[in-house]
Structure 1
C-alpha cells in the first residue's frame, strides 16, 4: 500500500508542479491554456473558439471580442453567443484569420463599415448596409507626450529606444517604422505597412497593444507595466493619440461635406428669400401709405363757394 500511496502522491504533486502552471500565453493574458495528453500546451482565446499563437501578437479583432467578456469571467470558457453588448463597445465579427469583417453590426441592427484596424469609416445604417471590401489601414500615426524629466533626452536616443521597444516587445519589423520624430515633450511615430505577409504582425495590432500598455491594461500575461528606458532613464508616457489612415478616404467624410454644403446653400437661399419677402412687404406698405395720404389730401381740398352777389 505504501508504494501505491507514494505513486498517487507523486502524480498529485506533478499535476500541481510549476511545470503545469507554466502553460500560459505570454502575449495574451486572456487566453485559456491547458496541457493535452501529450504534455503540449495549447491556448484558445476566451470568448471564441480560435486557437492563439502565443509566439506573436493576437489580432485586434480577437482581443476586442475577449474584452467583451465581464472581468470575472475572463478566464472562463464561454461560447461566442454568450457575450452581450455593453455601453456602445461593439462585439466585432472576425474572420477565421483574425481580421475584421468589413461590416460590423450591434444587437440593435445598426451596422457600419470598418477598416482593417476595426475603426468605423462610414456612416451607420441598417442591416441593408453593404460593405464591398475591407479597406486596409496603411498608415498609423502615434503621438505621445512624456512627463518632465530631470535629464534631457536626445532625439537619436529616443528613436533608438522606441525602435527597440516596437521590435522586441511588439515583434514589429523595423522596416514598418517609417519615422520617429522627437520635439520635447512630443513624440511622433509613423508606422507604414502597405502589404502584410502572413508571418508579420499587423501595425493595427501593435498600436492596440501599445495603447493598452500605456493605459496600464496590458494584454501580456505578465501584466508588467510598460517601461521605456532611454540610456537607462525612464521615459514616462503621459498622453497618447492614435490616428488611422486608410488606403481609401473614409466615405462618411464626403457625405458630411455634402451635407454641410447643402446646409449652407439652404441657409443662403432661406436668407435671400426672407430678404426679398421683407423688401416686397416694405414696398407694399409704403405704397399703401402713400395712397392713403394722397386720398386724404384730396378729400380735404374743397372747391371755392359760388354764391351769387
Structure 2
C-alpha cells in the first residue's frame, strides 16, 4: 500500500508542476520587443524590461523612460506658429534614471558630474549643471507637436481623408484616445497635435510622450513593435524631416535657447560695428586734438612775429 501512495503523491506533484508551467507559458510582447523573460500569466503577457527590473504589461505601450533605458543597454553591449515655449530635444538618447513605475526622475545625469532637469517626456528643459542642480518636480508635457513631410504618392487623396487616416492610425496603432489627437494637412506638410492634460489622463490612457516616441522609432525604421503584422498606416505615407516639439505646463529654463545661428551672427556683427565705431571716434578726436594744438601754436608764432 505504501508504493501506491507514493505514486499518487508523485503524480500530484507532477500535475501541480505542469499547471505552473502551463500558467506561465512563454509569450511574445507585441508592443515592446525590448523585453525578456516573457510569460503568460492569467492570459496576460508579462515581461521584464531590458536593463530594469520592471514588469511590462504587453497589452499597452511601455513608458518612454523604460524604452530609452533598454535602448542604451543594447547600445552598450514648422508649418504653423508654435508656442514660444515649444522646444526640440536636441540631446538625443541618454541613459535615463527611471522611478519604480517606469517614469523619468526629475534629475538626469550623464554618468559624470553633468546633470540637468527633464520633463515627463524625458527632454531636457534646463541648462546643464553639476550634481548640485535642484530639480523639484517632473514638469508634465501636456502638448506635443509632430511636424513632418510626406514623400510624393501615386494616389491622389483629399486633405480630409489624409487627416482622418493619420488620426485613426495614431489611435489604433498607439492605443491613444482620439480626443487627444488632431491632425492638420497642408500638402505635403503634416502636423499632428497630441494634447493631454494631467487632469484628463485616466489610469487606462497611454501617455502622449510614449506615443510620440513609438512614432519617432517607426519613422526611423527602428520600430519597437515586435509584431510585424500589427496596425499599419492605411494610407501609404512615407514621412521625412520629422521634428517633435514639446510644450510643458511650465516654460523651460533655457538661456539663449531659441537664438538661431543667424540671429547670433547678427548680434555679433552689430556688437563689432559698435566697437569699431567707438574706436574710430576715439582716433578722430585724438587727431582733431593734435590739429587744434598745432593751429594754436602757429597762431602764437604769428602774433610774436607781428609784435617784434
Which category of TM-score, normalised to the shorter sequence, fits these structures? 0.7 to 0.9
Query: Contact 1:139 / 1:190 at 8 angstroms: preserved in 2?
Result: yes
Q: Kindly indicate whether residue 225 of structure 2 is the aligned counterpart of residue 213 of structure 1.
A: no
Equivalent position of 1:277 in the other structure:
282
| TM score, norm. by length of structure 2 | 0.74
Q: Kindly indicate whether residue 160 of structure 2 is the aligned counterpart of residue 156 of structure 1.
A: yes
Equivalent position of 1:77 in the other structure:
none
Match of 1:193 among 191, 196, 210: 196
Equivalent position of 2:143 in the other structure:
139
Q: 1: CA distance between counterparts of 2:112 and 2:305?
A: 78
Post-superposition shift, 1:271? 6.5
Equivalent position of 2:248 in the other structure:
246
Q: 1: CA distance between counterparts of 2:41 and 2:210?
A: 33
Q: Structure 1's 271 and 20: CA in aligned 2 closer, same or farther, altered over 3 A?
A: same
Q: 2: CA distance between counterparts of 1:211 and 1:37?
A: 31
Equivalent position of 2:116 in the other structure:
112
Q: 1: CA distance between counterparts of 2:276 and 2:27?
A: 72
Q: 1: CA distance between counterparts of 2:258 and 2:191?
A: 29
In structure 1, the gaps of 5 or more residues are 1-13, 74-86, 304-309
Higher relative contact order (CA 8 A, sep 6+): 2
Q: 1: CA distance between counterparts of 2:268 and 2:203?
A: 46
In structure 2, the gaps of 5 or more residues are 1-17, 78-90
Q: 2: CA distance between counterparts of 1:52 and 1:279?
A: 75
Q: Kindly indicate whether residue 178 of structure 2 is the aligned counterpart of residue 180 of structure 1.
A: no
Q: Structure 1's 53 and 42: CA in aligned 2 closer, same or farther, altered over 3 A?
A: closer
Equivalent position of 1:42 in the other structure:
46
Post-superposition shift, 1:263? 8.7
Q: Structure 1's 58 and 36: CA in aligned 2 closer, same or farther, altered over 3 A?
A: closer
Larger radius of gyration: 1
Q: 2: CA distance between counterparts of 1:126 and 1:251?
A: 16
Post-superposition shift, 1:239? 3.0
Post-superposition shift, 1:189? 0.9
Q: Structure 1's 89 and 285: CA in aligned 2 closer, same or farther, altered over 3 A?
A: farther
Q: Structure 1's 225 and 169: CA in aligned 2 closer, same or farther, altered over 3 A?
A: closer
SS of residue in 1 equivalent to 2:48: strand
Post-superposition shift, 1:35? 3.8
Equivalent position of 1:122 in the other structure:
126
Equivalent position of 1:59 in the other structure:
63
Query: Contact 1:33 / 1:41 at 8 angstroms: preserved in 2?
Result: no
Q: Structure 1's 22 and 162: CA in aligned 2 closer, same or farther, altered over 3 A?
A: farther
Q: How many residues align?
A: 266
Q: Structure 1's 246 and 263: CA in aligned 2 closer, same or farther, altered over 3 A?
A: farther
Post-superposition shift, 1:297? 4.2
Q: Structure 1's 88 and 190: CA in aligned 2 closer, same or farther, altered over 3 A?
A: closer
Question: For 1:173-220, what per-residue CA distance to the aligned partner results, in whole angstroms no more than 9, with x for missing partners?
Answer: 11111x211111111111110112222110010000001001100001
Q: Kindly indicate whether residue 299 of structure 2 is the aligned counterpart of residue 294 of structure 1.
A: yes
Query: Contact 2:37 / 2:48 at 8 angstroms: preserved in 1?
Result: yes
Equivalent position of 1:202 in the other structure:
207
